[in-house]
Structure 1
Amino acid sequence: MQWSKEVQVDEWVREKLKSMGLKLGKDFLEKDASAYLKDALKGASKTKKQTGTGIPDFVIEKYKVDNEIIPVIFECKLGIGKLEKYAKDNEKALDFSNDAISKYALNGALHYARVALQNESQKQDHYKEIIAIGIVGDNSQNVKVKIACVFADSSLAYKEIKHTNLDFLENAKSFTHFYKEECKLTEEDKHLILIRGKWHLSYHSAQLNKLMHNHNITAPQRVLYIAGMILSMQSVMSNEYRILTKGLSPADLQGSQEEGLRDGELVFERIEEFLKVKVPDSAKRKLMLDSFNEIRKDTDRDKIPKNFTYKEGEKKNPNHKIIAHILKEPSSINKQIFAYIYAHIYKEIDGLNGHLDIMGECYSEFLKYALGDGKELGIVLTPPYVTKMMTQILDITSTDRVMDLATGSAGFLISSMEQMIEDVYKNTAKHSTQANKAILELKTKQLLGIEYNAEMFALATSNMILRGDGSSKIYKANTFETEDSLYVSFAPTRILLNPPFTWDYNGLPFIEFGLDRMQKHGLGAIIIQDSAGNGQATPITQSILTKHTLKASIKMPIDLFQPMAGVQTSIYIFEAKIPHDFEKPVKFIDFRNDGYKRTKRSLQEVDKPAQRYKDILKIYKQGLNAKLDNSVYEKPINLNEVYVEDFISDSGADWNFDQHKKIDTTPTLQDFKKCVSEHLAWEVSNVLKNQNSMQGGLEGNALSPRLVKLEKDFKQNGGEWREFKITQLFDYERGTRLTKGHRIAGNIPLLTAGEFNQGVKEFISNEEQKIFSNAITIDMFCNSFVHIKPFCCDDNILVLTAKKQMNQYHLRFISTIIGKDKPKYGYGKQYRIGSLEKHYISLPVLPVLSLRGVGEAHNEAIHKTQQESKMDCHEVANATSRNDKSDYKIAFDYMESYIKALEAERLQELEAYLKVTGLNDYALSQKEKEALKAFENLSALNERERE
């Protein structure tokens, strides 16, 4: 029986739970929850204002893992299509708009879970994680279940589970097994969360950057605004997790012009109050407050703008259009910035609650965006996935003592801290007294940072505070002027560095200074410009080798720091206080292909970057014996190509991979085939483009005799050119989106935007993609091609199908004319449906009585051996030109003859070229065939030996 009401889905869930032995009112609740959970769900109603208490459809609060209750929250919806909804512009992230959480089951369940996890008043013993379940159905035979583990209140902090039934709820044992097997975050899960975070923050950081730029706030000030305002939003908590002072919210900023009550002053005062608790060192606190003073210094930023800058419906809104969706009433510049950070940045970062490295990664990504190209502050921040990789290469554990002598925004210290915390949890239960004590110890005593730049010092300290402190040993100082006693007492075992790229010898003195002050056998890693290791810093490299060992050199992607400072970099790994043994080899690894493509706008996944960052650790540890699953990659990893063990000299000028890569110069048959093919392709291309033509060919716009005659006949018969609207001649359709990760290899051409290879990107077999043929395509840049054979295309392609039959010659003629508009379009102005609907093209027309006379004779003369077109081309369309004369029609015969004439001339030129070069009838002798076969076998044998 088909269900007609949502309550029938509820009935199915209720009976399902009962069938597993769970009792209503005891083991699970319906439209109800414990007093504790009800309190946590205040403000969780799915109404627009979200002011009431939200109550899920079902709740289970009986199961514990490691003595922690893990609640299970259910949300049910009628209709199989109401299971989940993903964000419009990011298919990897669920949508948390009011519409989505109220209409879709999993979105609603996640919404309740997130609110329950953010209950600030119960932070000491509040829920750490919640299982959210969405259930939908049309009838008892067609029910779908989707499950997610939610570990913080951020919209980023969840893992979708592949498990699709409720059997794990049967008893405590099945629940614990499910939780430990399914809910544990793998590296791939963390990477997916990182991608969600990057998408979220890349969009909002761009908007916030624009907002602050429009309000004349400089780049150095912008990052201080972000850090300071986020600190002011934090509540000051007692050791008993009691709120001493609640963090600021947008409602607290009233736009007062009274001295002491201005918005900027309120923010600064709350920062000051927060830092009194978090930073006991008064000198350090003063340094930070001096930097954050920027927020209150300019009184004009606390004034309410009077000019109207945006209209929302009929009501004028004086705030900047970027913030108008949040603030409806006139607000100061400081409040506008504060409100945007609060809504779109702070809630996501604070919501992750230090639980994952993603918190530092997302925040650092935002700081990096705000810093522009890094030149204003003289720094370039290391990408978070690289800082994480470097901490893993150094195998940092909870007992290590880690330092960074050019701290920046503390990215290396954050990654180190997270890895140390993970190591704690390997041996102790999460959130246990023993684990909490170990984590407090490592945060306060095992992380050392030195930063000379005052603004970056404030950012680094804030960054660590926001992650549950770890800031107590971050100092503002010139590294080279610090006292040795600092390092003696700290006794570092690990050092991580990305030194200022403008420093002497590219910053290499920082690693020498640090290695000299480390414990013996300690490990260090520095990411630095290649030139430091190829002879541009020999005084330092030679000195390092007399005291320390270079263990490995990893060549990083050429575009790693794009769109920041464009430098080529390597990572050098050292062992401290063991002079280099030149009779022992060094590991050289090529990691230029890390699976990412970097543009000025974004970081794009192109070939399994998460897996590649796992495999680089295997390659570092296991070398040529590394066990890799190359089946997951589009471009597999050839260990012989990317890994070399070789000796270095005492010159200090041969530290880079390219200086040690072994190149086999023995030629193979494939090498020769490639060489010959490329040369012939170049020669033929030149012939067809009228360069080095054997016959002289067409020069510029000069017409050949054939075309001269055709043109003359056309004009003598009254021919002229008139404009026609494309949509009069063609039906049109837009292709469908197909992201790279969803493409299945096959033999159907897939067209995407691009001017090369007729627009063909690759070949696929996805059944859901519509197949076209005999059509003109136009991409977003107005590149136009003709495709006669079957093809499919993505959503940047418009497909034009003739309303009445046209052959390939007509299509090619028209496509050429369409492409004439290409200079008008680019990324700023793209060719879309609206462009097509306004697009006129010039076509040849003839008086009706002359139509059959022009072109037919040429067709017969040029293509005697070809099958003549059987259609009446001039009858194709009843299209009218802008200046319509009913006795004129489009001259399709002329169009066909014109293209055929050009094609025939090109073929004649190619035939002449082949004849002159002797390639038209060349055949291999039997001995030549035998010799070629022998060489091919030898080449194959050599290839196998190299592998």
Structure 2
Amino acid sequence: MAKKAKKTVKSIEPNIVDLANGWMKQYKLDYKLEQESLNDAIDKALADYFSKNGGSGANRPDAKLLLRDKKLHDWPVLIEYKGYKDKLVKLGSDGQVENKKTNGEPLYKNINSYAVNGAVHYANAVLHFTNYTDIIAIGMTGYRDEQGEIRHEIGVYYVSKKNFGAGQRVGDFDDFSFLAPKNFDQFITQVEALSLTPEQREQLKAKREQEVIASLIKLNNDIYKNEEPKLSEKDRVYLVAASIIATIGVPGKVEPLEKEDLKSSTEKGNTDGEIILRKIKAFLNEKHIPEAKRNTIERSLQNTLTGEIINKVENGESQLRRVFYKIIDDIGIYYKIGLSTDFTGKLFNEMYSWLKFSPDKLNDVVLTPSYVATLLVKLARVNKDSYVWDFATGSAGLLVAAMNEMLIDAKRSIHSPEALLQKELHIKAEQLLGLEILEDIYMLAILNMILMGDGSSNILNKDSLRDFDGHYGFGKTDEEFPADAFVLNPPYSAAGNGMNFVERALSMMHKGYAAIIIQNSAGSGRAAEINKRILQRNTLLASIKMPGDLFIGKSSVQTNVYVFRVGEKHQKDDTVRFIDFSEDGYTRTNRRKASINLRDTNHARERYQEVVDLVRYGRSKLHFFTEKEFYEGHIDPTDGADWNQSAPIDTRPTLADFKKTVSDYLAWEVSNLLRRQANTEDGLGK
């Protein structure tokens, strides 16, 4: 007997399309179908973004709208239909729309097969390539039940720079009436009320961080392998910096540079490099970057952008235009959605690795992880009124962390919008100062601060030990910078592993606090003479032993964090808090293909806050740590080599130790007695 053929489930997508579009007709909504144009910007974004099958183009939502709310804010609405049961949305284990693999690559199967996943994919195209920052993604599917009746499901998601493009479910909806003009403002109120929990934000940040790394590795490898003639490491870094600055724009002042603006013209004054450079100059001018700094940035980038070879046109395209396209396509999304400290840290750590340094400088160019930067800032007691400086600023990660802490404190304590705005401007323009001697890294610091809201005014390309007099670099150049907070990760090859930077900075301060992370041999003899001089004017408050794998993959040095009170001589009876922070709660790996190389496996965030509290308030704040990791002791101010102490181990035996020893001995004796008796009996029986 022949097997009965398996019944194939037929898609009812045409019925779903008819039902949904019928609702929109009923509400008199001006919707556009798959092949129709919504507007040039959105049409082009959908064409430029990678498709649901890979490659570019062919991103065609089944329906799309552009709706305006009562605040005159435009909301793109992108709709995708399916016609099968259980094809509404595919979520990952974290509860988020699963459109990417763990390595950051697109998950085409999900994007193709599920209605919401497809709509969120389209929304990210708009987020990536337009100025729209808030998009509604709608998925709808359906099936026929046992009686042949159509059953439908609707998924409505909010995709925004606020949720890093991941999307958030808005609520339950039975039809599209929430899009009707009379209901739309109420719906938008519901959307704007959405928020992410701290845990969700951390999860999404971790995902995006890995995507940044994967995208930058791909970009660097692509340029290195496929671009002829070859571009140097410095050129590759400068091209990324130039492309980002040119495409940020200033609302209402400077239009972001679009890909189609580069024509690969050979006309003098209109080469691709000259077009990018003009856009950068306009941006810097509108951002009111000081003239001397503008000139430095423009001069540094000009050499790369206006070179004859990179602008040479072959087959209708310059190498510069081709590389610009790659940069925007690969990493554009990450600053479109609003780069946070975590993202810029990953961005600049990876770009750092593109630059080549001599072997003796490798340990000097390791960036501070963002969570360690935040620790240093909190240990230095930074608040909205602090004046913070860094004498070896690298890519400005420590100053970015300080700026964030200052802005958070300002928002917490200032309740007048106008006063808050003025304070934020003052923080960025006058309360941060950084020095970086390496020009390549200085350029990254400038770009970092511009991306983070522009606290770049007093980022100086100077030798902090020889050329810096303690004054503002721009603006109030005749005034001393009134530093009362100092944060530092110095070059470890410098004198005393870098303690000479600490001595120099603290000698120019009158009050405040300092927190530095440094190779721990600086506190055990390598910098003894410098340390003794430092303690003549400053008090060592704490010595914190950091995890040995903190800089895994970058450097293998053991580090300590030292915390000082500035302007008070250290007395021999001053208490120093020694903390063993070897177990900080994070598990680190160094695998390029790992989805996440940093995992919070043991209350890491809570442990970092506890360290801050222990340094400030003492043992009353012990929770995750014990007396084995926390010790209050003293140092000899005339020694300089006794800064790395640990809790003393009490070797005196207790009564319990004695009882255990006696118990173990008696057990051993009984065991021997029984064994001898057994052997004797065996001998008698033979």
TM range (shorter): 0.7 to 0.9
What residue in structure 1 maps to residue 530 of structure 2?
540
* Shift, 1:601, TM fit: 3.2
What residue in structure 2 maps to residue 370 of structure 1?
354
State the distance in 1 between where 2:204 and 2:458 align.
30
What residue in structure 2 maps to residue 107 of structure 1?
117
State the distance in 1 between where 2:221 and 2:628 align.
44
State the distance in 2 between where 1:400 and 1:570 align.
24
1:242 to 249, 252, 261: 252
| Greater Cα radius of gyration, structure 1 or 2 | 1
CA contact (8 A) 1:41 1:54 kept: no
2:449 to 458, 464, 475: 464
2:401 to 406, 409, 415: 415
Q: How does 1:694-733 map to 2 (within 5 A)?
A: none
2:334 to 319, 343, 349: 349
Paired letter, 1:583: D
Alpha-carbon RMSD across the aligned residues, in angstroms, is 4.7
Instruction: For residue 643 of structure 2, give the secondary structure of its aligned residue in structure 1.
Output: coil
Paired letter, 1:544: I
Paired letter, 2:436: E
Paired letter, 2:12: K
* Shift, 1:261, TM fit: 4.7
State the distance in 1 between where 2:156 and 2:651 align.
56
State the distance in 1 between where 2:316 and 2:271 align.
15
Tell me whether 1:252 sits opposite 2:262 in the alignment.
Answer: yes
State the distance in 2 between where 1:436 and 1:3 align.
58
State the distance in 2 between where 1:549 and 1:543 align.
11
TM-score, normalized by length of structure 1?
0.56
State the distance in 2 between where 1:105 and 1:387 align.
42
Instruction: For residue 301 of structure 1, give the secondary structure of its aligned residue in structure 2.
Output: coil
Note the alpha carbon deviations across 1:258-278, whole angstroms, 9 max, x for none.
655544444444434443444
State the distance in 2 between where 1:923 and 1:137 align.
76
2:642 to 642, 646, 654: 654
CA separation of 1:200 and 1:645: change in aligned 2, threshold 3 A: same
Q: How does 1:204-219 map to 2 (within 5 A)?
A: 204-214=215-225, 215-219=229-233
CA contact (8 A) 1:56 1:73 kept: yes
CA separation of 1:495 and 1:77: change in aligned 2, threshold 3 A: farther
CA separation of 1:283 and 1:265: change in aligned 2, threshold 3 A: same
Q: Which stretch shifts more, 359-368 or 463-472?
A: 359-368
Paired letter, 2:296: L
Note the alpha carbon deviations across 1:608-641, whole angstroms, 9 max, x for none.
259403422124315655576xxxxxxxx55344
CA separation of 1:516 and 1:486: change in aligned 2, threshold 3 A: farther
* Shift, 1:63, TM fit: 9.0
What residue in structure 2 maps to residue 228 of structure 1?
242
Note the alpha carbon deviations across 1:212-248, whole angstroms, 9 max, x for none.
444543333332232123223343x3xxx32445425
CA contact (8 A) 1:624 1:643 kept: yes
What residue in structure 1 maps to residue 497 of structure 2?
506
* Shift, 1:344, TM fit: 0.6
CA separation of 1:118 and 1:541: change in aligned 2, threshold 3 A: same
CA contact (8 A) 1:149 1:183 kept: no
* Shift, 1:157, TM fit: 0.8
Q: How does 1:434-583 map to 2 (within 5 A)?
A: 434-480=419-465, 481-486=467-472, 489-518=480-509, 520=511, 522-583=512-573
Paired letter, 1:208: L
Paired letter, 2:450: I
* Shift, 1:397, TM fit: 3.0
Note the alpha carbon deviations across 1:767-793, whole angstroms, 9 max, x for none.
xxxxxxxxxxxxxxxxxxxxxxxxxxx
What residue in structure 2 maps to residue 866 of structure 1?
none
Q: Does 1 or 2 have the higher relative contact order (CA < 8 Å, sep 6+)? A: 2
What residue in structure 2 maps to residue 301 of structure 1?
310
CA separation of 1:115 and 1:543: change in aligned 2, threshold 3 A: same
1:618 to 597, 610, 613: 610
CA separation of 1:500 and 1:59: change in aligned 2, threshold 3 A: same
Instruction: For residue 588 of structure 1, give the secondary structure of its aligned residue in structure 2.
Output: strand
CA contact (8 A) 1:404 1:496 kept: yes
Count of matched residue pairs: 613
* Structure 2 gap segments, 5+ residues each: 1-8, 91-96, 474-478, 658-667, 677-686
What residue in structure 2 maps to residue 157 of structure 1?
164
State the distance in 2 between where 1:11 and 1:662 align.
78
What residue in structure 2 maps to residue 83 of structure 1?
89
Tell me whether 1:405 sits opposite 2:391 in the alignment.
Answer: yes
CA separation of 1:171 and 1:231: change in aligned 2, threshold 3 A: closer
Q: How does 1:239-388 map to 2 (within 5 A)?
A: 241-244=251-254, 246-247=256-257, 249=259, 252-254=262-264, 256=266, 260-278=269-287, 280-296=289-305, 298-303=307-312, 331-345=317-331, 347-353=332-338, 356-371=340-355, 379-388=365-374
Note the alpha carbon deviations across 1:336-392, whole angstroms, 9 max, x for none.
3322212112x12331335x3334223223323323668578522222232233334
Paired letter, 1:598: T
* Shift, 1:529, TM fit: 0.7
What residue in structure 2 maps to residue 200 of structure 1?
211
State the distance in 2 between where 1:152 and 1:171 align.
21
* Shift, 1:144, TM fit: 7.0
CA contact (8 A) 2:59 2:122 kept: no
Note the alpha carbon deviations across 1:850-870, whole angstroms, 9 max, x for none.
xxxxxxxxxxxxxxxxxxxxx
* Shift, 1:441, TM fit: 2.5
State the distance in 2 between where 1:625 and 1:25 align.
63
* Structure 1 gap segments, 5+ residues each: 306-328, 629-636, 672-918, 929-947
Counting aligned pairs with the same residue, the percent is: 27
Instruction: For residue 565 of structure 1, give the secondary structure of its aligned residue in structure 2.
Output: coil
CA contact (8 A) 1:547 1:576 kept: yes
CA contact (8 A) 2:542 2:562 kept: yes
State the distance in 1 between where 2:629 and 2:375 align.
17
TM-score, normalized by length of structure 2?
0.74
CA separation of 1:664 and 1:233: change in aligned 2, threshold 3 A: same
